[in-house]
Structures are given as C-alpha cells and as structure tokens.
Chain A
Amino acid sequence: MPLKIGIPRALLYYYYYPMWKVYFRELGAEVVLSSFSTKGLLDKGLKCAVDEVCLPVKIAYGHVLDLLDKVDMIFMPRLVSVEKHEYICPKFLGFPDMVRCLDKLPPLIDVNINLYRKKWDAHNAVTKVGRLISGNYINIYTAYLRARKIQKIYFRLLHLGLTPDDALAILEDRVKKRPAQEAKEFTVALIGHPYNIYDRHISMNMIGRLSRMGAAVVTAERLPEKTVRSYAARLPKKLFWTLGQRMIGAAFHYLERPDICGIVHVAAFGCGPDSMTGELIERYARAAGMPFLNLTLDEHTGEAGIMTRLEAFLDMVRWRNMAAVGM
C-alpha cells in the first residue's frame, strides 16, 4: 500500500498544492486532500483553536482534524520564508507546533521551508521530505524538477486570471464545458490573503457573487511577481511579509489602472499583517480617489451583512461610472 500523505486544504495550499501533489505522487505516495471548507469543518476547528487566532488558522485546524484517521502522515511544512529577507506571518512560523498540541495526530512532516538567506535552501528541505518516502536521490531530484515545472504552469494559469480551483481543474484534466462568460459592466479588484478570498466558505464565495452581481473580478494572483514587486517598492520601507507585499503591490497597480473601478479589501479579524497593509492600502486608495471597501471576516460574520455591503458598494461604483460618462 502506498504511503498516504494528507494535505490540508488550507493556508498556502492555494499557492503550492500542485507542486506538493506532483512531488509526492512522483515518489510513489498517495496524496489525500481534506474536504472543502464547510461550516461543520470550521466548527471542529473552533473547538480546538484558542479564541484569539484568526479565522484562516481556525479553519486550517478543521482541515487537519478532517485528515486525522484518513492518512499516515500529514504534510505541514513550516513556511518560515519563501522569499529572501521576507517572512509570511508569525502564525505560519508556529503553526506545526500549534497543531502538534492536538490529540491522536499522525506524524507531521514539518520541515522548515526557509528561504530567508538564500533560495537554494529550498532544495535541502525538499530532499529531506523526499528521504522520508524514497531512498533514491535521483528519483527525488527528478520528482522535484517535475514538481517545479507544474508549479510554473500553475502560476501561469493564475496570471491568466483563473482562480486556484479552475487552474487545478485544468492541470488535473477535469474541465467541463462551461457557458461563455458574458461581458461584465465593470471590474473590481479583490485584495486579500489567498486562503481568505479563494476559500469559498471563508469568503462566502465572494468571487462568484461579485461576478453574479455584474462585476468582473481581478485579484493579486493575476499579476506577475515582477509587476507586484515594482509597485510595492514605492513604499518608504520594504514590507517583510511576502503575502502583504503581493497585496500592496497589486493594490497600487490596480489603483493606476483606468479599467478598475473599485477595490475590495478582505481582512481576517485579528490578522496582524492585514491591520498594517489594509491601513496602507486604504490611505493610498483614498488619496487616489478610488472607491474602497474593507471587509473584516471572522467566524461570527453574518453573510447577509457582507452581501448588503458588497451590493451597496457596487451600486456606488455604478453611479460613479454613470456620472463619469455624464448620464
């Protein structure tokens, strides 16, 4: 029986899952994903997490619990840093240790992914994980190369404007024919951590709903790294959070794009980085005269309230557009 490796459908699953999956498959392991986020899954997480952690971490607990009896090991790398001289978030630094406090946990694969000093350090971490499954260095290396290749394709799909779900569907060859998208009235930028805006339960399917309300949606993942970084470089001091940097850079870029009519910022309640980057984005948006809506989410957030605010915001954007063309 192949080794079953569980991957929680949470946190940076939305960025790196294709790479992880291919890597483990190539080495002969079976990859088991946790179920999609649901209310029930979140409730499980809420029982185990302390009140103070942010919603995405609570839901990540739920995903880990969902995997408990289904797998031999859980893959939960400690994502210290994925870019030189940057971090992700203190909670990412501590997450494997937080999870280790749970009962009846299968062994964790919690290697440190730390590219703070040099990019090459990723390689060592990857090899270390590979050694747990296979003794063959050549296999490990080729698996790594294939994984990276897939990752590149995945990011390219994201840059084309696909959501992680759709991009994965293409990679896994399970695209169904879909009705062609009708043209939208206008475009808004949705800025937030990937695990907040792409998790349909956390975000209450915000992307889908915006689209149904008549707005095309662009996100930070749509932009290539280079663009994001060059815009983020306008800050007086470089941000040391990789995701924050992406959100800020994207927001700055969209502020200058004439086709973008508004920015919706999604923050997790109690999120440290969001409290700072959100403040910055709001300041710049206000200065640029761009309609801006800030939504803060936690487990008590009511869906109705959020939807009302979104609708009101879109109405406001619509009026502005009409006023601009002089109707």
Chain B
Amino acid sequence: MRATFPHMGNLHISLKAMLQHLGVEVVTPPSCSKKTLNLGVKYGPEFACLPMKLNLGNFLEAYEMGADTVIMAGGCGPCRFGYYAQIEHAILKDIGCNMELIVLEPPSRYIFELTGKIKQITGNKPLWQVIQAICYGYQKARALDEVEIAAFKSRPREMAAGLTDAACRKALKLIDRAISWREIVEARKIAGKTMAGIPVDKDRAVLKVGIVGEIYTLLEPFTNLNLETRLGYLGVEVDRSIYLSEWVNDHLFMGLIKGLRSRKEASIAAHPYLRHFVGGHGQETIGNAINYARAGYDGIIQVFPFTCMPEIVAETILPVVSADFGIPVMTLIVDEHTGEAGVMTRLEAFVDLLARKKEMKEAL
C-alpha cells in the first residue's frame, strides 16, 4: 500500500509522521498549486466547494506519483465535507484512477468501523503502537503551531524582510525530519530557539488582526493567498482562530487535552448572536470574532470558500457583531477565480483603515 492524503497546511507533516511510524509507505502529494487546483476544477463538480476541488487535485497528483490508497476523514453532516470522500471516489473511478479509499468516519457512532479501518491501514499493528503514532503526530502538530504563532509575532517586527520566513522554513524542516520521540522533543526545542532568535524591533507599534473563518481556507495558505504572511509584511500581527493541534484535539481526542482553546468557549461567546451550531466552524467564527474584539484586537478578517454554507450564516451575522463591538470586519471569499492583485488592494485598504482608526483612538 502506498498511501496518500489531502493537504491542509502543515497537516502533512503530522500525518506522515503518524503513518510512517506505523510502517505505512506514504506518498505526500506536491503542495497545493495552480496545477492542483486546475485538476480539481477540471474533474470536480462545478459548484463543489474549493477544499473538495483541491483534495481531488491532490489525489490525482499523488496518483501520478504512484499512490494507490487515499486516506480521508468522513463526517456526518450537516456540511458537505462528510460526503466529499464518496463523490471524490466516484470521480476518481470515472477517470480511470483506480485508487482505494479509506474513509475514517468519526468514532461517535461507528467505533468498531473506525478501529477496523485503522487495522486495514496499519496491517494489525498493536494498539500501543497506534496510540504512540497518534502522540507523535500530535506532538508534531503542536510544534508546528508554535512555529507559526512565533512567526505571526515576529514578522511585522523583523529587522529585515524575510528573516522570519527563512527561520520558519528551517524550523519546519527540522520538525519534519524528527522520527523518534526524543528527536521530536529536541526539534521542538530547537525550532523554538530558532524562532526566538529572529532579530526584531520590540518597540515597533503593530496592528493586531484576528483571522476567523472556514478551517481549510484558514490552514491552507494556498487558498488564502498567503494572507497571514502578507499581513505580516504590512505590519500586522495576526492570530488565527483555529490551529492544527486544536483541531486535532477537538476532533480526534474529543477535547481531552485541556488548556487549549476549545470550540466550547467560542460557542458560548457566540450565543447571543448565533444560538445553534451551524456545521463547519460557523459558530466559532462568530464566537472568536467576539473574543478577539474583547481582547482588544484592531480588526477581524473572515475567510471562506465561495458557497461555504456555515460561513455564509456567520457572514450575515458578523456586521451586527462588528457594530456592537466597534471592530471593523473584512470578508474574504476565495475560489478558483480569486486574483492576487484584487486581494492585495483590499488588504492594504483594510489595514489603512485600521491604522487610521487606531491613530484616532490614541489621539483622543
């Protein structure tokens, strides 16, 4: 078996560690690119949401590299994601890509099915090894998030443009290479030091923007046109409402690990405005926007793929939140037609607005 999986930001580093620890041969698809997207657009349903098209592109590219099995997560609604895998499979079959598909459905209802699938992937590895692999993957996810968070802070303050990006690349490579527990812990430490060592101007005044929205477009920089990096260069410190490890904790560990931000907090904050979950991360978008406003952020950017249903619900409600808390909100909707120039202009205008608003506040 040569297994592949869809990309979502740095997820591949984590997943590869897990699968390789279980002795599975892994084919990591090339990072999402224009080519990936074009493949997805060509073969995917016209009105499918962007993540699904990119998934499909990933699979096709991995197939060319010799992958024969796709590992995919499932779901039980209400959003489209839970049915991606089945449609993708039908499409792959149609175009003659004979790949096997292993869909990991959430364990709430089909726990035995899940363990069965894991067995199918790992070929009967003992349970402790599976658990160990998950811990490895999780540890890496944490390390990756720490690097990103450090980068968000240092990018707007770096002494020379590009220092943060270089450090980031180095740190990620280090984490990716670690294969034993000791190495991962060590890599996490060195990565932390590398990031802390970036020369920065500590006193530089920066704007703070919280980024909320649909998880895939938040975590996959290709889809949001490197939003976070661009903002960093515009002198904005960003925070993102969902990190990889938080998602893993909420979805795979049922929130077992405490001390991380969880969905619950966000949904409590959202309650006066959106009183029910709406699938995806719609309720979290509202809740996190409120939390950012309370924490004194200067602005909020919502990102989501065109036609994303939960985020459209949130988009409708965000203006009220924006008015109530006096915090500007920008909505960035992305799809295969999104152009870089247009996004850049809008971002610059938004950052300008925030800067002026801040100046005015400080002048008072």
- List residues of A whose CB falls within 8 A of some B CB: 49-50, 52-53, 78, 80, 85-91, 93-98, 101, 112, 235-237, 239-241, 267, 269-276, 278-280, 283, 296
Contacts and interface: CB of A to CB of B under 8 A. Distances in A.
A101 B319 contact: yes
Given A52-B307, A85-B76, A101 B317 contact: yes
Contacts of A86: 77
B228 to A, nearest CB: 23
A314 to B, nearest CB: 24
Which of B49, B83, B279 counts the most chain A CB atoms within 10 A?
A: B83
B315 A50 contact: yes
B313 to A, nearest CB: 3
Given A237-B83, A275-B307, A52 B333 contact: yes
A279 B278 contact: no
B280 interface: yes
A169 B324 CA distance: 46
Q: How large is the interface on B (under 10, 10 to 19, 20 to 34, 35 or more residues)?
A: 35 or more
18 contacts: A50-B312, A53-B312, A87-B77, A87-B78, A90-B278, A93-B313, A94-B317, A97-B275, A235-B86, A236-B86, A237-B83, A269-B47, A270-B47, A270-B306, A272-B309, A275-B47, A275-B48, A276-B87
Given A101-B317, A270-B47, A93 B276 contact: yes
Given A52-B307, A101-B320, A276-B87, A91 B76 contact: no
Nearest to B313: A94
Contact of B80 (A96, A276, A278): A276
Which of B48, B278, B310 counts the most chain A CB atoms within 10 A?
A: B278
B309 A91 contact: yes
B90 A240 contact: no
Interface string B266-286: 000000011111111010000
A142 B54 CA distance: 54
B109 to A, nearest CB: 8
A96 B312 CA distance: 14
B309 to A, nearest CB: 4
A278 B44 CA distance: 12
Contacts of B90: 280, 283
Contacts of A98: 313, 316-317
Nearest to B307: A270
B79 interface: yes
A271 B277 CA distance: 19
A147 B306 CA distance: 40
B322 to A, nearest CB: 11
Contact of B279 (A90, A275, A279): A90
Interface of B: 45-49, 74, 76-80, 82-83, 86-87, 89-90, 94, 273-280, 282, 306-310, 312-317, 319-320, 333
A80 B46 CA distance: 27
Given A50-B316, A237-B86, A279-B48, A94 B78 contact: no
Which of A91, A267, A269, A280 counts the most chain B CB atoms within 10 A?
A: A91
The 6 A-B residue pairs with the shortest CB-CB distance, nearest first, are A240-B77, A94-B313, A87-B78, A275-B47, A90-B309, A279-B45
Contacts of A78: 275-276
A237 B83 CA distance: 8
Contact of A241 (B45, B78, B89, B280): B78
Contacts of B314: 94
A91 B45 contact: no
A236 B101 CA distance: 12
B78 A97 contact: no
A97 B76 contact: no
Nearest to A93: B278
A280 B87 CA distance: 8
A94 B310 contact: yes
Which of A78, A88, A112, A240 counts the most chain B CB atoms within 10 A?
A: A240
A269 B312 CA distance: 14
A90 B313 contact: yes
A97 B274 contact: yes
A276 B83 CA distance: 8
Contacts of A236: 86, 89
Nearest to B77: A240
A91 B313 contact: yes
A75 to B, nearest CB: 17
A279 B76 CA distance: 19
A241 B315 CA distance: 23
A275 B80 contact: yes
Which of A52, A267, A270, A296 counts the most chain B CB atoms within 10 A?
A: A52
A274 B47 contact: yes
Contacts of B89: 236
Nearest to A267: B47
Which of B276, B279, B280, B308 counts the most chain A CB atoms within 10 A?
A: B276
Contacts of A53: 312, 316
Which of A91, A270, A272, A280 counts the most chain B CB atoms within 10 A?
A: A272
